[in-house]
Amino acid sequence: MIKLGAAETKATYDAIVVGSGISGGWAAMELCKKGLKVLLLERGRNVEHVKDYNTALLNPWDFDLRGNTTVQYKAENPIQSQGTDAGNAHFFVNDKEHPYVQQKPFHWFRGYQVGGRSLTWGRQCYRLSDLDFEANLKEGVAVDWPIRYKDIDPWYSYVERFIGVSGKKENLSQLPDGEYIEPFGLNCIETHLDESIRKNSHDRLLTIARVANLTRGWDGRGPCMARNLCSRGCPFGGYFSSNSATIPAAMATGNLTLRPYSVVSEILFDDQKQKAKGVRIIDTITKEHFEYYAKIVFVNASTIATAGILLNSKSHRFPNGFGNDSGELGHNLMDHHSAAGAQGAHEGFKDSYYKGRRPCGFLIPRFRNLQPNSGLDFTRGYNIQGHGERSEWMDTRDAGGFGADYKKSITHPGHWTVWMAGWGECLPYHDNMISLNDTQKDSWGLPLINIDFSFRENETKMMKDISQSSAEMLNAAGFTNVQTFNYGKPGGDTVHEMGTARMGHDSKTSVLNAHNQIHAAKNVFVTDGSCMTSSASQNPSLTYMALTARACDFAVEELKKGNI
């Protein structure tokens, strides 16, 4: 049921979930399926699957400015407008209404609505491996992950089986295989590049992206119609989102209460019981404050917002923010970099084309620093993501000339090209952090969030290697006009923020334990990106979902045992 206004305030639930994005949706579904009465809080509006995908079926010419946003939109949304178009802008916040403080340039893309950014995510689903879970310990960087691959492996499978992931097994230790449905195909230039890469090196290969796009019907959703318009919301349910899958499943149990327009201002601490007793929210429409109570609280507001809520939750026990005995809350912010790479054209395969718009590209799994002492000037690694295609009007229109010949050239398929860039690990630096602004507040009286983040020497050196290795692979495969690039994008641009409430063994140096419980308040679980102890280089959403499902299972067991 959907709850609005002042009805049943001060109500008590078994569990409260803060945030309805990719991890919050999972928490709500798992807890509901296990029989708990759950209140799911979302600061934005409701977005109902299919019904609220207003742009999903529009043709380019159905938009007043085709795909373009207006000059007023761009002026009001200097950050979001860099990643949005007329088809999906309504799934991103308004920068003017939701300001934050960039102590250094940082692009914070947000989707304040039911489903959050699960509506607009890139849908890549990659498992982390022990190469990632052991890296901090082996290198003496930050703190050790309190879990290893064996702890999360079954939960990866559990999540993959539910969401439906298309992909291909490759039997790599650094990128463990999961449970996949039929992969999308590689086109002929990608197959050619793959063959060249496998021929020229023993430790590299190219594989189709593993994505939550359904190549066949799955649990009443899909299949994907190959329109590649995912970020508008998919009326065919062709990809996984909270809206299409977890929230409807949670609703179907009869145990879910969804309250949109509810921004959580703080987690309430019970001094007597030494645990959380609930949350305080502000109705974003009426600006009234309400309290809700529960036995357990899952905080899934997304990395930066989650840390903001916890920092704002001050009590006698936690004067510096909820669960912040270590002083690490808000620190160790990470985001992958994805600015460096290379592109090239190929003269061959002129007699081949493709049909349909594949909603993903290819992946070249990590091949750097798989062994210690590899002799490189940076630590950790990157995976390369890219796509091959034939040039079309967007690519060929800059050619000189005009008239009938020019028209012919832009309306017929041009050269094959490949674009590829490295998605690279970012180390956890203590002083890459978020904090609450002392003076500036938003429309709801909540302190603005300061973001102080920069990539450092290790990331910069890695980017150089990405460009070089990408260019080498393209050159070796006979590409021409190979050009390296580094777009020099600031943090936030990959939209993989993580690390602000990290997991660890020790309550003195971390916020969460191995089960995503706050060390000093065991009925509060944080299972969004903020829990990440290191970033690895894999797109992280699958890991958030797996950790969430695992933590929900643990939480319910602990409840039954009376431990929390």
Four-residue CA torsion sign, 100, 104, 109, 110: negative
Binding map of other proteins across residues 5-44, x = CB under 8 A, - = no contact: ----------------------------------------
For 466-503, give the secondary structure using H, E and C. Answer: HHHHHHHHHHHCCCEEEEEEECCCCECCCCCCECCCCE
Structure tokens at 522: 């065991």
Other CB atoms within 10 A of residue 354 CB: 15
Total residues at the site for other proteins (CB under 8 A)?
48
Nearer to other proteins, 198 or 357 (CB): 357
Q: Which stretch binds other proteins (CB under 8 A): 149-157, 319-327, 392-400, 439-447?
A: 392-400
Contacts of 264 (CB under 8 A, 6+ apart): 18, 41, 43, 279, 280, 281, 301, 309
Q: Which stretch binds other proteins (CB under 8 A): 24-32, 67-75, 128-136, 252-260?
A: 67-75
Query: Of 83, 105, 413, 490, which lies in the binding site for other proteins, with binding defined by CB under 8 A?
Result: 413
Four-residue CA torsion sign, 179, 185, 189, 192: positive
Nearer to other proteins, 97 or 182 (CB): 182
Nearer to other proteins, 7 or 71 (CB): 71
Bridge partners of 503?
A: 512
Element (H, E) at 557: helix 541-561
Rounded to an integer, what distance in angstroms lies between the CA atom of residue 484 and that of residue 421?
9
Nearer to other proteins, 208 or 559 (CB): 208
Rounded to an integer, what distance in angstroms lies between the CA atom of residue 150 and that of residue 477?
38
Query: Of 80, 120, 187, 246, which lies in the binding site for other proteins, with binding defined by CB under 8 A?
Result: 187
The verdict on 414 binding other proteins (CB under 8 A) reads yes
Nearer to other proteins, 375 or 401 (CB): 401
The verdict on 487 binding other proteins (CB under 8 A) reads no
The verdict on 192 binding other proteins (CB under 8 A) reads no
Rounded to an integer, what distance in angstroms lies between the CA atom of residue 80 and that of residue 95?
7
Rounded to an integer, what distance in angstroms lies between the CA atom of residue 31 and that of residue 17?
9
Nearer to other proteins, 97 or 392 (CB): 392
Nearest to 537 by CA among 175, 63, 99, 184: 175
The verdict on 262 binding other proteins (CB under 8 A) reads no
Query: Of 91, 184, 218, 269, which lies in the binding site for other proteins, with binding defined by CB under 8 A?
Result: 184
Look at the block and give the residue holding tokens 């920069």: 454
The verdict on 60 binding other proteins (CB under 8 A) reads yes
State the minimum distance, in angstroms, from the CB of residue 236 to other proteins.
9
Nearer to other proteins, 398 or 438 (CB): 398
Nearest to 552 by CA among 161, 194, 28: 28
Rounded to an integer, what distance in angstroms lies between the CA atom of residue 365 and that of residue 386?
12
Nearer to other proteins, 213 or 262 (CB): 213
Binding map of other proteins across residues 70-109, x = CB under 8 A, - = no contact: xx--------------------------------------
Query: Of 5, 35, 67, 78, which lies in the binding site for other proteins, with binding defined by CB under 8 A?
Result: 67
Nearer to other proteins, 287 or 357 (CB): 357
Contacts of 467 (CB under 8 A, 6+ apart): 340, 341, 342, 484, 485, 486
Cα distances from 415 to residues 269, 346, 410, 418, in angstroms, run 62, 6, 11, 10
Rounded to an integer, what distance in angstroms lies between the CA atom of residue 496 and that of residue 12?
34
- 342-371: contacts with other proteins (CB under 8 A): 350-358
Binding map of other proteins across residues 200-239, x = CB under 8 A, - = no contact: -------------------------xxxx-----------
- The residue ranges that bind other proteins (CB under 8 A) are 59-61, 64-68, 70-71, 184-188, 191, 225-228, 350-358, 389-390, 392-394, 397, 400-404, 406-408, 410-414
